[in-house]
Structure 1
Amino acid sequence: MTSDPTSIVAIGHLPHATGGIDFPLVSNARPTTPVLTRILADASGTTSQDLRRRVLESATWRTDYATLLAELTSASARETPTAYTIATEGLASARRNMIWAHGTAESPLDDLDVSSGQAWDPGMETVTGTGRPVMQLQVPYRGRQLAGSALLDQLDVWVAEGTGEPSFRDAIARVVAHPEWLPAPGRRIVLIGAGAELSPLAPLTTWGADVLAIDVAGSDLWRRIGDLAGAGAGTVQWPLRPDGTPGLDVTSHLRELTAWLNQAADDAPLVLGMYAYADRGAHVRVTMAVDLMATHLCTVNPETSLSYLATPTDAFVVPREVVHAGHAAWRDRGALKHLQWLARCASRGALFQPSYTTLHENGTGIADILVPQQGPSYALAKRLQRWRGIIAEHDGHPVSFNVAPASWTRSVTRNRVLAAAYRGARHFRVEVFEPDTCRVLMAALLVHDLHHRPGTRPHPEALFSDQALHGGLWRSAYEPKSALGFAALLGALTPH
């Protein structure tokens, strides 16, 4: 470690992995499409047999999935039982169709008992930070550290510009008024993907929180985690591999890590946070591992809380006031509407479509920002997480599930088209945030949600629309995907 922690203790090792979560083996390969199609079809069949049929018969799945998933989101916006049934059947299908591979055999996840993991002495590596806890919410933003009245003023600006919802402003303002919430006292926060770019590890350790860190192996990754822990004011603990090094894959060490968490909790309520990211089908595998772990922990301790981040590139049910804001922005385009009319004609209506042309009976709409380029594995993994959030909140567990804004993460900058679209987003009044800003704001929403329970939500999908910091995508005059290509063109012409 390059940090100078006051305490490092390394005792006890995890056993070797004996299996792993995966897709079924088919002709020496493990294709993702049949499983993902079946999950979406089974979830869709609870509300529409026609939608189920179209999912199963899709000949161009990698592009069709976005439209089909948005349609299922719209179906979920009906009565509360519909949303809950979709979530329940979607996750049940995932457990039926994904498998636990053990040796040359495999069995459905339905048959996996995550509580059967091998126990070991509750030793772990512990880093106690040497810093003083920061007892005031400070948000880095455009070269400044915003706190107190300056931060409250910026919250008002974001709401006035349509960058975030009023409920987002209110939540952050509560944290400003209650700095004692910052270290999440009395809880232990589990971070799956502790070293991820948008993981709340850095702010939580700065505030003095008690963290249990889980991530894959990698010397640079764990050096960074150790540095953050040592410089912070909290305690960070993690388990060790058989050779004494950190780093465990939750998809293969699921049972062992679940047993470790049961011991490491030490009677404190756990907050299970899913912040891991993986490419393609691996993201689905990690998501299902965390889902099985979450189910077990919530069963063992009803005080268990869950935490996820919602991606802005998804489809969401938004309330009437957001729909009205989008319609108002369309009416107020000014002289731009003439140029956009020409572009719409040239593109046969594909460009600059007005937002929220189709509404539900209760006036809600669908902010459809699902883009086929992100891939069905990523989209279905995020939807599986949302389904778990709906079920957990229904069962009485605190759930923090906030929409994070578009951010300049490494995964974005690696994708040329997406990076260009982000650079051009400002021309459509959409703000893209720096990861440092996003990380602190999302961590602040997490500690808020652990201390301030919402009243009865009007609909389960409000779990994702409340407190959203969407960057302006939801209140845009345009259906976001109809402006994405033009934004990318403008961004490609913008110097980096």
Structure 2
Amino acid sequence: MPNVNPTGVVIPSVEGRASTSALGRAVVADALRAVDPVGARGAEASTDWRRDYLVHFRRLVEAGLPSRAAALTIAQDGLASLHERMRYRRNAEGDEEPLEAAFNAAGEPLATVTVEGRGAAERELVVPYKGRNLRGEELDRQLKRWVAAGTIERSCADTIRTVAAHPEWLALPGRRVVVLGAGAEMGPLRALLRWGADVVAVDLPRPAIWQRLTEQAERYAGRLHIPTAGDQRGADLLHDLGRVADWIEGQEGRLVLGNYVYADGALNVRVAMAVDALTVRLRERRPDLGLAFLATPTDVFAVPDDAVDEATRRYREATGIGRVRRPLRLLSAGRLLTRNYPPGLYPGINDSLVPQQGPNYALAKRLQRWRAAEARAAGMPVSLAVAPATRTRSVVKNRLLAAAFAGAHRFGIEIFEPATSNTLMAALLVHDLHAERPAHEHPWQDEAFAAAHGGLWRQPYSARSALGIAVLMGIGGARG
């Protein structure tokens, strides 16, 4: 008989049953309450959270735009709500306890196995792209093409150029990057090892994961530090937070805690919350701690004025699918191919939430953005980069998303391969650990800086209004 009571960090029960919808409604309402009480009541009153969350997650951004204080209040109150509501269960028959109990589980301290790389460290920034290795002038030309196509922000290209001009940064001397979710396709582990960095790896105790990561570490130039318990490599963040926290705390060098974890459905919220609890614990014990995150482009962001203007121009000048825009809009009662932004309204709101990814994914990713904003305001070093849509296994296993990816180029959206994305994102991390980002007045500007959104911010049409057509075109292209 299946275990009906999950253990470790868990979603709180409502009337005897874990409910991610109840959690999502409550957290969003708590986050909005002080700044937007009408929005908070709207979230609480939702009867179909899987559909309604799209409106309320957008409102979380809109309500924070009037001031820095409003945005930070939303972030801080949302985080506080999650920490208050999430629970820990020691065993399937046990009661739910406060989240803090996750750090009290007993067990022998984790030991460390260090794998020394045998390769030569790369002393030049090289970005794999469509079968080529871009470096030097060729990389610079591709950065210019991406900017011209609206694929990345100009600040992203400039940041990558800065890293290319300082190859001595790549090995991150004096630092250790803790990669939580070390086996993730979007994580920086492989790039950092190629560059000769010290990497602390945390992922589930599954032999296949560690065989692959160990082989990579031996092939490249860096050093990989792995938690072990007896003959078992790896650690489970949901169940073993106390030992993981103690183990990471004992690592040498200036630590950067990188959050690259991912899971499906409700498990994504649970593991994201485990990481955030770990973050809070470690920042109390390691004042040198820095944080790193990847934001998904399929979320809601405020975007710069020039992104709004470019999308408006492209809407006005659209060819191809734009030639049949009017009849499509009439047939769909205005739902298809709507403008990305109202012209002249700044900053723009790019709403690229994808219903197929669901409210749990949105909450897990918003949690990370909230923590980045809160920590940056508290004076912590923070690297948060908007990563492009990427053909990872976790995404393309969804048929609709795979088809949408196949048709996305018809709307000026570039879908990246994992090797390109994770190298670019690792380079942005290296930059943020060596050079201070520009000071911004508002958290939305911090999020927009150096964004590599794949074109979602500068295309003429809102993402959801083009999604169905992209799916049809992608399916047709695949059949062809």
- How does the TM-score come out when normalised to structure 1? 0.92
Aligned counterparts of 2:131 and 2:320: Cα–Cα separation in 1: 34
Q: CA deviation at 1:87?
A: 0.4
Aligned counterparts of 2:398 and 2:273: Cα–Cα separation in 1: 26
Q: CA deviation at 1:62?
A: 0.4
* Cα distance change on mapping 1:26 and 1:338 into 2, 3 Å: closer
Q: CA deviation at 1:226?
A: 0.7
Task: Tell me which amino acid in the other structure corresponds to 2:303.
Answer: V
Does residue 495 (structure 1) correspond to residue 459 (structure 2)? The answer is no
Q: CA deviation at 1:119?
A: 8.4
When the two structures are aligned, how many residues end up with a matched partner? 472
Q: Deviations over 1:331-359 (max 9, x none)?
A: 22147544111111111111110111277
Query: What does residue 231 of structure 1 align with?
Result: 219
Query: What does residue 403 of structure 1 align with?
Result: 386
Moved over 3 A (4+): 25-29, 111-114, 116-123, 334-338
Aligned counterparts of 2:320 and 2:123: Cα–Cα separation in 1: 48
Asked whether the 8 Å contact 2:110–2:243 carries over to 1, the reply is no
Match of 1:428 among 411, 427, 439: 411
Query: What does residue 107 of structure 1 align with?
Result: 97
Task: Tell me which amino acid in the other structure corresponds to 1:148.
Answer: G
Q: CA deviation at 1:20?
A: 2.0
Query: What does residue 245 of structure 1 align with?
Result: 232
Does residue 331 (structure 1) correspond to residue 321 (structure 2)? The answer is no
Aligned counterparts of 2:95 and 2:109: Cα–Cα separation in 1: 30
Asked whether the 8 Å contact 2:110–2:244 carries over to 1, the reply is no
Q: CA deviation at 1:455?
A: 2.6
- Unpaired runs of 5+ residues, structure 2, are 1-6
Instruction: Please identify, of 311-320 and 292-301, the stretch whose mean Cα deviation from structure 2 is larger.
Output: 292-301
Asked whether the 8 Å contact 2:102–2:239 carries over to 1, the reply is no
Asked whether the 8 Å contact 1:119–1:259 carries over to 2, the reply is no
Asked whether the 8 Å contact 1:119–1:260 carries over to 2, the reply is no
Query: What does residue 340 of structure 2 align with?
Result: 355
Aligned counterparts of 2:218 and 2:400: Cα–Cα separation in 1: 38
Aligned counterparts of 2:109 and 2:342: Cα–Cα separation in 1: 59
Q: CA deviation at 1:26?
A: 4.3
Q: Deviations over 1:286-336 (max 9, x none)?
A: 111111211222232332111111111100011111111111111221475
Q: CA deviation at 1:168?
A: 0.3
Aligned counterparts of 1:60 and 1:117: Cα–Cα separation in 2: 37
Query: What does residue 5 of structure 1 align with?
Result: none
Query: What does residue 362 of structure 2 align with?
Result: 379
Q: Deviations over 1:437-469 (max 9, x none)?
A: 111111111111111111311311222211111
Aligned counterparts of 2:131 and 2:227: Cα–Cα separation in 1: 37
Q: CA deviation at 1:371?
A: 1.6
Query: What does residue 37 of structure 1 align with?
Result: 25
Query: What does residue 431 of structure 2 align with?
Result: 448
Q: CA deviation at 1:199?
A: 1.3
Q: CA deviation at 1:411?
A: 1.6
Asked whether the 8 Å contact 2:206–2:234 carries over to 1, the reply is yes
Query: What does residue 39 of structure 2 align with?
Result: 51
Does residue 481 (structure 1) correspond to residue 464 (structure 2)? The answer is yes
Q: CA deviation at 1:484?
A: 0.8
* Cα distance change on mapping 1:345 and 1:113 into 2, 3 Å: closer
Match of 1:145 among 127, 133, 140: 133
- Unpaired runs of 5+ residues, structure 1, are 1-18
Query: What does residue 293 of structure 2 align with?
Result: 308
Query: What does residue 78 of structure 2 align with?
Result: 90
Asked whether the 8 Å contact 2:8–2:102 carries over to 1, the reply is no
* Cα distance change on mapping 1:492 and 1:458 into 2, 3 Å: same
Aligned counterparts of 1:359 and 1:288: Cα–Cα separation in 2: 38
Match of 1:317 among 299, 302, 326: 302
3-state SS of the aligned residue for 1:196?
coil
Match of 2:168 among 180, 185, 188: 180
Query: What does residue 197 of structure 2 align with?
Result: 209
Task: Tell me which amino acid in the other structure corresponds to 2:249.
Answer: N
Aligned counterparts of 1:491 and 1:35: Cα–Cα separation in 2: 35
Does residue 470 (structure 1) correspond to residue 453 (structure 2)? The answer is yes
Task: Tell me which amino acid in the other structure corresponds to 1:257.
Answer: V
3-state SS of the aligned residue for 2:258?
strand
Aligned counterparts of 1:358 and 1:186: Cα–Cα separation in 2: 48
Asked whether the 8 Å contact 1:165–1:468 carries over to 2, the reply is yes
Q: CA deviation at 1:66?
A: 1.3
* Cα distance change on mapping 1:432 and 1:460 into 2, 3 Å: same
Query: What does residue 283 of structure 2 align with?
Result: 298
3-state SS of the aligned residue for 1:85?
helix
* Cα distance change on mapping 1:423 and 1:335 into 2, 3 Å: closer
Q: CA deviation at 1:112?
A: 4.2
Q: Deviations over 1:5-32 (max 9, x none)?
A: xxxxxxxxxxxxxx72112234553222
Q: CA deviation at 1:495?
A: 2.3
Aligned counterparts of 1:335 and 1:484: Cα–Cα separation in 2: 16
Q: CA deviation at 1:285?
A: 1.2
Q: Deviations over 1:381-430 (max 9, x none)?
A: 10011100001111111111111111111122211111111111111111
Does residue 344 (structure 1) correspond to residue 310 (structure 2)? The answer is no
3-state SS of the aligned residue for 2:432?
helix
Task: Tell me which amino acid in the other structure corresponds to 1:211.
Answer: V
Q: CA deviation at 1:181?
A: 0.8
Identity %: 42
Asked whether the 8 Å contact 2:401–2:471 carries over to 1, the reply is yes
* Cα distance change on mapping 1:258 and 1:117 into 2, 3 Å: farther
- How does the TM-score come out when normalised to structure 2? 0.95
Q: CA deviation at 1:283?
A: 1.0
Asked whether the 8 Å contact 2:315–2:460 carries over to 1, the reply is yes
Aligned-residue RMSD, C-alpha: 1.8
Asked whether the 8 Å contact 2:117–2:221 carries over to 1, the reply is yes
Aligned counterparts of 2:171 and 2:274: Cα–Cα separation in 1: 27
Asked whether the 8 Å contact 2:102–2:240 carries over to 1, the reply is no
3-state SS of the aligned residue for 2:12?
coil
Aligned counterparts of 2:418 and 2:354: Cα–Cα separation in 1: 21
Aligned counterparts of 1:358 and 1:215: Cα–Cα separation in 2: 46
